[in-house]
Structure formats: structure tokens, C-alpha cells
Amino acid sequence: MRLDGKRAIVTGGGSGFGAGIAARFAAEGAQVIVADIHMENARKVAGEIGGHAIHADVADGASVKALIALASEHMGGIDILVNNAGITHLPAFMEEVSEDDFDRVFAVNCKSVYLTARSLVPALKAQGTGAILNIASTAGISPRPRLNWYNASKGWMNTATKAMAVELAPFGIRVNALNPVAGETPLLASFMGEDTPEMRARFLSTIPLGRFSTPRDLANAALFLCSDEADMITGACLEVDGGRCI
């Protein structure tokens, strides 16, 4: 019960890493809001873990504002925010990625962090405590060709994490990030271009521990960084990558 009494929001909580984090948080005693643009997925996960589902488009300011207000009303406040929702563009040379794809990647992966902070930080400052966790990627540390603008968006998340941590530390708010390698999530095929045994083998050959990251891996790391056990850790961008970035 390492999160007993805590109140958490997990964006993109309806699938993949987000679903794993939401489940682990609930198992450790937290009230959990599963926020997702796909409500069927959100309701399914929330039903399984005893949480509550709320529709949210993290790239839209009004939707994020409503999410924070509804979550706070439902739980009586918010202690933890996990900015997990994210997308990528399909592998392509940088000059071939459409402007619409570029705008969508930066809206979901970057602008969302600004929007959630704008809506939530005042309340966290008022209570003098809180934890924000941004789910970035090894792509932001060790970029790979043909995912250029996705790489850049995740590098932005790591820098934003450190900048947020420095500014919010005097208010008792910690901000950290996780950098997973590709995992068994709905985005895997997009990262690889196609999901075939050959592509999987090629990708796995770049991971020293020889496997993809799993929702359980991310959930374990997220649990630690969002718990009081990590109350001296802020601005950390932890690699959960099986050695991919070595």
C-alpha cells in the first residue's frame, strides 16, 4: 500500500503503459482516474481496477481543464499526475513527415504537458505537495533515424521535466520522467514501421537485456518515483530500457 491515500490521474490510461501504471497504482492503494480519448478502453481499465474513467483529449486545453476539475471533484483533490498519453508519426525521412503529423505529435506529446501543468499546478502549490511523472522515451536520449520529430518531442519532455522540477521544488512538487524503450503497446507497430518477426528481431538486437519493455516495468518505476520513497528525487529522467541507451 505504498500509495495509500494518494489520488492519481493517468493520461492514456486505457491501454499500454498507462493501463499498467493505473493498475499498479490502484493495487498500491491509490484512487485512480483513468483518462483517455478512447472511453471504451478507459472504462474497461477503470472497471478492472476499481478506478474512474474520464474522457480527455490531452492536446485540447478545454478538455484538460475539464479533466482536472472533474478528477479533483471526484477524488477530493489530486496528488499525482502521470502524463503518459503519447503518439508518434510513422517512420519516414524528416522532410517527408507531413505538417499535420508534426503538429499532432507535438500537441499530444509536448503541449499536453503544458496544458496539464497549467490546470493542475496551482492546486498542487496550494497544498504544498505533489508528484508529476512524464513518460518520455529512449528516443529522446538516443534518437533513431526516420523518427526525427518523435525523437525531438521526447527530448523536449526530458528538458521540460528538469525545468519543471527546478521551478516547482520550492513548492514541494516533484517532477520526474521515465524513458522506456519500445514495448508491447499499441504504438509498437508505428515505431517499427511494421510488426513482423524480422522487424522485432532487428529491434530486440539493440536492447542488451534482449526484450521489450512491458507495462509492468513502467509501473514499477512509476510507483517508486510517485511514492514517498522517492521524496528526495526530482528532475530525474530514468531509463527503463534494458540497456538500450548505454
What amino acid positions are annotated as catalytic residues?
Answer: 150
The answer to whether residues 129 and 154 touch, using CB atoms and an 8 Å cutoff, is no
Q: How many CB atoms lie within 10 A of CB 36?
A: 29
**Cα separation values, 161 from 86, 119, 151, 167, 181, Å:** 15, 17, 16, 10, 18
* Long-range contacts from 210-214, C-beta under 8 angstroms, 24+ separation: 210/242, 211/242, 212/181, 212/182, 212/183, 212/184, 212/188, 213/17, 213/180, 213/181, 213/182, 213/183, 213/240, 213/241, 213/242, 214/20, 214/183, 214/184
Residue showing cell 499530444? 108
Phi, psi of 129 (to 5 degrees): -165, 160
CA distance 188 to 81: 24
Structure-block grid coordinates of residue 120:
493542475
Phi, psi of 238 (to 5 degrees): -85, 130
